[in-house]
Homo-oligomer: A and B are copies of this chain.
């Protein structure tokens, strides 16, 4: 039934944690769900527009000095309903993993070995830094918190990154071995 894109519900959901301006929402999104659902700043502006049109949220103009005026949005009861209805539907939006890096690896037989190696090394660093960022988050999760599900997403991110790191190491070893043989 519903029909709004996930991004719309994501914005709505973030607003369920308190009123915010689009600008703040974008920042909030970047620090919370961005690892598995990135939303660009402009998209947020678009979505609040749509949600307001549907009556799911309401905006209030706030004048400021020292910074441009802004609009702060907050959920309406009808927005809460919409969010909960969406959440109650267990239909499974397929997950997409998109990696230009892997496209290059896929054509690795056309690449000079050292370039492939450097590429994989970069991916390794990338994953390592994701791990460094997520590990502390996952470890300091308050176990009884009502937000443990939010943290669960970080746990998955961590596991995925660890898998990526392991793969990079494994593949680098294989590359080194191959090169030794060729010599």
| A contact set with B: CB distance below 8 Å | 6, 9-10, 13, 16, 32-33, 35-38, 83-84, 86-88, 90, 92-112, 115-116, 118-119, 122-123, 126, 146-150, 152-153, 155-156, 159-160, 162-164, 166-167, 170-171, 174
**CA gap between A86 and B108 in the complex, in Å:** 12
- B37→A109 contact, CB < 8 A: no
Tell me how far the C-beta of A26 lies from the nearest C-beta in chain B, rounded to whole angstroms.
16
Do most interface residues of chain A lie in helix, strand or loop, or is the interface mixed? Answer: helix
- A107→B126 contact, CB < 8 A: no
How many identical subunits does the complex contain?
Answer: 2
Q: Could you write out 20 A-B pairs with CB less than 8 Å apart?
A: A13-B106, A33-B106, A35-B97, A37-B100, A38-B96, A83-B110, A87-B110, A87-B115, A88-B111, A92-B119, A92-B122, A93-B101, A95-B99, A97-B98, A97-B160, A102-B153, A108-B152, A109-B148, A152-B167, A156-B164
**CA gap between A118 and B90 in the complex, in Å:** 7
- A167→B159 contact, CB < 8 A: yes
Residues in B neighbouring A94, C-beta threshold 8 A: 126
- B149→A167 contact, CB < 8 A: no
Residues in B neighbouring A110, C-beta threshold 8 A: 16, 83-84, 87
> Known contacts A98-B95, A109-B149; is A122 also within 8 Å of B90 by CB?
yes
3 closest A-B pairs by beta carbon, nearest first, are A108-B149, A93-B100, A95-B99
Smallest CB-CB separation from A126: which chain B residue? B92
Residues in B neighbouring A87, C-beta threshold 8 A: 104, 107, 110-111, 115
> Known contacts A122-B90, A122-B92; is A106 also within 8 Å of B159 by CB?
no
